[in-house]
Amino acid sequence: MKAKDPVRICVPVCERSLEALKESASLAALEGELVELRLDCLSSDELRAAEKGLDSWLPTIASPVILTLRPLGQGGLRRLDQGFRFEFLNQRKGAAFLDIELELGLWAEKHGGLDWSRIICSHHDFAAVPSDLEEIYGRMAATRAEILKISVHPEDATDCIAVFRLLERAQKDGRKMIAIAMGPAGVLTRILGPSRGSYLTYAPREDKGATASGQIRAEVLKEMYRLEKIDLTTQITGVIGKPVGHSISPAIHNAALDAAGINGVYIPFEVGDIRAFIKRLVNPATRELSWNLRGLSVTAPHKSAVMELVEPDVDSREIGAVNTIVIDEDNLKGYNTDGPALVQPLIQRMGSLKGLRCAVIGAGGAARAALWGLGREGASTTVFARDITRAKPLAEIMRADCKPLRQHSFAEFDIVINATPLGTRGTLVEETIAMASQLQGARLAYDLVYNPSETRFLREAREAGCETLGGLQMLIAQAALQFKLWNGQNPALDAMTGAATEALD
């Protein structure tokens, strides 16, 4: 078996002034195996000053340096003459590599020669994954560049197949290559690329230092995703949805994998076309990527649509949604861990739920899981919704009463559950589905929103004298059930809880 190539993290640095560039470069060298200086970020005056000032401190940077000076249209901020860019970069002898696009490389070869041994020959498409990607690679591979680099922007995680194919081709050709997909849909290439032959992966030292969409902070790649341990045998799990960038599930599951000593990684997959993703990347009979994919979490908007693409178990069929896929040899099996996990914290807090009067506010997937879980435990349930016509069919299926929300009092209920997104961090954070005056008399208020941990709904409930329960316990409980389905063992709940709490801070 071929020895695994070293994992290289390149930390990009983008600053307006030369002094700030120097300071940031020194810090970046502490994080990565290489440092990229984005000279195109410098102001015009500072760029001119860099012609004289840069050479004096380039050798002091502790990691090898890549110099990049992009024009407008290739990620740069201004129009720059080809001749100026070539001369500027070519004279910087203290840099290990010069990143130039193919067109500039061919121009330079005609107008003065080029030391290809330190050239990264690059191509960027900031809008799409071009259909002629293989042809572009062929033109680049015809040069004597030391490293080839192609960076594209997929709309869907499935589009990343083309990027991994480039890495396979480069390895067969004996060429060093950096292949990256930008944006939320390309995150998997930043995590899995190095294990599949990518010469490096870019990662900023701080989130605000990202120079391209989808870059993951270097510390996160090292600590949470354990990048250095990923190889071709690594077990892959992840969450599919759109969007998924806000999800803290990667933090929770990767902490559990680490605590269990499992060679595995959990990745966010931005998926719009669920059918194409399942066919081309998941189903063992049809998938186009050879990888050790074990299972997936499923989140909005795919929990219902995915049911016809897997073999759902009885609970999933009753709830009407799948949130967990297990790949069992050639079969895709669907489960729902939301329902059982939702009632788990209630049982721990209140004991038996049998006969308790429970109000569930909402008529979506979370409400459906809540009604199913409560009904299985023998609770008496009532659905409250602003749109009563939407709620009535759900109430009938789940054998629950149904009432319009309006300004209803919940004094007669033992448990009131917010199963809507109101209160979620972002534009909805200051909203609540019920005020303190409505919640007075209820025993416990349960908010399925977990971010933030202290929602307005919970504050209103506390003011009304209710006991309160946040959504984080449910999130961890359903993740723990998923972990057991994939790995056949219970996870370390303390590791999961610690990772979730840190991710929410």
pLDDT in tens, 240-298: 999 998 899 999 999 999 999 999 999 999 999 999 999 999 999 999 999 999 999 99
Q: What is the mean pLDDT of residues 227-233?
A: 97
Contact, 383 vs 360, CB < 8 A?
A: yes
In the chain, the domains with their CATH numbers are: 9-228 (3.20.20.70), 238-336+480-499 (3.40.50.10860), 349-470 (3.40.50.720)
Confidence at 1, pLDDT banded by 50, 70, 90: very low
Mean pLDDT of the chain: 94
Per this entry, what is the length of the chain? Answer: 505
Secondary structure of residue 210 in the 3-state scheme:
coil
Contact, 451 vs 504, CB < 8 A?
A: yes
Distance CA(27)–CA(452), nearest Å, equals 32
pLDDT over 90, % of the chain: 83
Distance CA(409)–CA(402), nearest Å, equals 14
Query: Per-residue pLDDT for 2 more than 70?
Result: no
> What backbone phi and psi angles, to 5 degrees, belong to 47?
-65, -40
Return the pLDDT at 40.
92
- Give the list of residues 6+ apart from residue 104 with CB closer than 8 angstroms, or none: 82, 85, 86
> What backbone phi and psi angles, to 5 degrees, belong to 239?
-115, 130
pLDDT in tens, 184-223: 999 999 999 999 999 999 999 999 989 999 999 999 999 9
Whole-angstrom Cα Rg for the chain: 26
- Angle among Cα 272, 318, 256 to the nearest 5 degrees reads 60
Secondary structure of residue 73 in the 3-state scheme:
coil
pTM score of the predicted model: 0.94
Out of 208, 303, 354, 484, the active site residue is 303
pLDDT in tens, 133-157: 999 999 999 999 999 999 999 999 9
pLDDT in tens, 24-71: 999 999 999 999 999 999 998 999 899 888 988 999 999 999 999 988
Q: What is the mean pLDDT of residues 7-22?
A: 95
Tokens for 218?
């270097």
pLDDT over 70, % of the chain: 98
- Angle among Cα 476, 253, 375 to the nearest 5 degrees reads 30
**Containing H/E element for 482?**
helix 472-487
pLDDT in tens, 389-441: 889 999 999 999 999 988 789 999 999 999 999 999 889 999 999 999 999 99
Distance CA(293)–CA(138), nearest Å, equals 30
Burial of 49 (0-12, 13-18, 19+ CB in 10 A): middle
CA dihedral 389, 395, 396, 397 (to 10 degrees): 120
Q: What is the mean pLDDT of residues 442-461?
A: 95
Return the pLDDT at 106.
86
Query: Per-residue pLDDT for 492 more than 60?
Result: yes
Distance CA(385)–CA(364), nearest Å, equals 10
303 is an active site residue: yes
Higher pLDDT, 109 or 312: 312
Lowest mean pLDDT across 115-119, 343-347, 465-469: 115-119
